[in-house]
Structure 1
Amino acid sequence: MSIHIRLINEADLDAIVAIQDSCYAAELFEDAGLIRKRLASQPQSCWLAENNTGEVLAYLFSYPSRNNQIAPLGSDFGCYADAELLYLHDMAVSFNGRGMRLAPQLLAHAEQYAADLGFNTLALVAVQGSVPYWQKQGFETVTFTGVTAVQALASYTGQNAVYMQKKLLQA
C-alpha cells in the first residue's frame, strides 16, 4: 500500500475530527470549528497521510511559533512575524494506520519544513503519557516555572502535560 503525505484541505476535516475523536481523551477534544480556523490560519504547515484509495490515516497540525511559547488547549494558532521554531500542535494516527510508521513520516515532513524555514527547533506539548515516545524521537523536556507557562500546561486537564523541544541537525 502506498502512502501519500500532502497538505490538509477543508474537505479533509471530517476525517480528521473522526481520527481525533478516536485517539484522544474527551478532555482533549477540540471541535471542528476551531480546527477549521487553525487550518485557515496556517494551511502550509498542516499535513495528512493517506493511502492510495484516499483514506486519511494520520494528520499533523503545526505552525511557526516562538521559543518557549506554550499554546493552551483550545487556543487559536498564533501568527508570529518573529517565529523561531515549528510548534507541533496535534498529531494522531487512525486505527487503520497503526503499525505503518505514519507518525515518523509526518514528523520527518515537519522537520524538513522547519529546516526550509530556517528553524533548527521543533516544540510540542506531550499529553496522554506520550513523553517516552517523543523522547525516542529526540525531544527533550523543557521545565518552566513562569505563571503563564504553567497555566498553559494546566489547560490540558488531567494530562500531566509536558513541554518538549527537539533540536534539528544542521546541514
Structure 2
Amino acid sequence: MRWTAVGLAVLLALAGCAGSGDDTPADASPPSVVLTTDDGEIELAPWSFCWSGNGGGACGDGFEPEDPPAVGAPMRVDITYAENGWLFDATFTEVTDDPCPLTLTTTAEPIGDGVHRLEPIGPAGDWQVRLFGTGPQGDLSVTFVWTTSSAADIDIVATETVCAS
C-alpha cells in the first residue's frame, strides 16, 4: 500500500510537470509582422523570437524558412508592427548560386506609429531579406524575398561577404 501511494504521488507529479502544452498565455508569443506594398499585404510570423508580454514570456529559436514569401518588385516595403517602440534592421543577402553572396545591412526608417519604411539597397536583383526587430517586449526575426529593379542609394550599416564552408 505504501508503494502504491508513493507511485501515485510520483505519477501525479510527473503529470503536472508534463502539462498539456497549452499552458503558455496567448500573449507569450509576438504578433506577426505585416509587410505592405502597392500590391497588398503579407503577414509574417516570426521564426525566431524572445518575447515577454502581460503575464508570460517565451523564446523560440527556429530556422529561417527554406522558401520565404516574396513581395515581388515594389519600390519600397512598409513594415507594420502592432507594438510601439520597435526598431527594425534589414539584412539583404543576394540570392545567387555563388558560395559567397553579397550581404548588406540597413535600418528601416520609422515613419509613424508602428510603421517603418524599407527602401532597396545595393545592386538590382533578387534578395533574401531578414528583418530583425527589437523592442520593449524582446526581439524577433522574419524573412522574405524582394526583387529590386535598380541600384539604390541608402545608408548601409554593414557590408560583408558570407562564404559557405
Both structures adopt the same fold (TM-score exceeding 0.5)? no
Shorter-chain TM band: under 0.3
Determine which structure has more spread, i.e. the larger CA radius of gyration.
Answer: 2
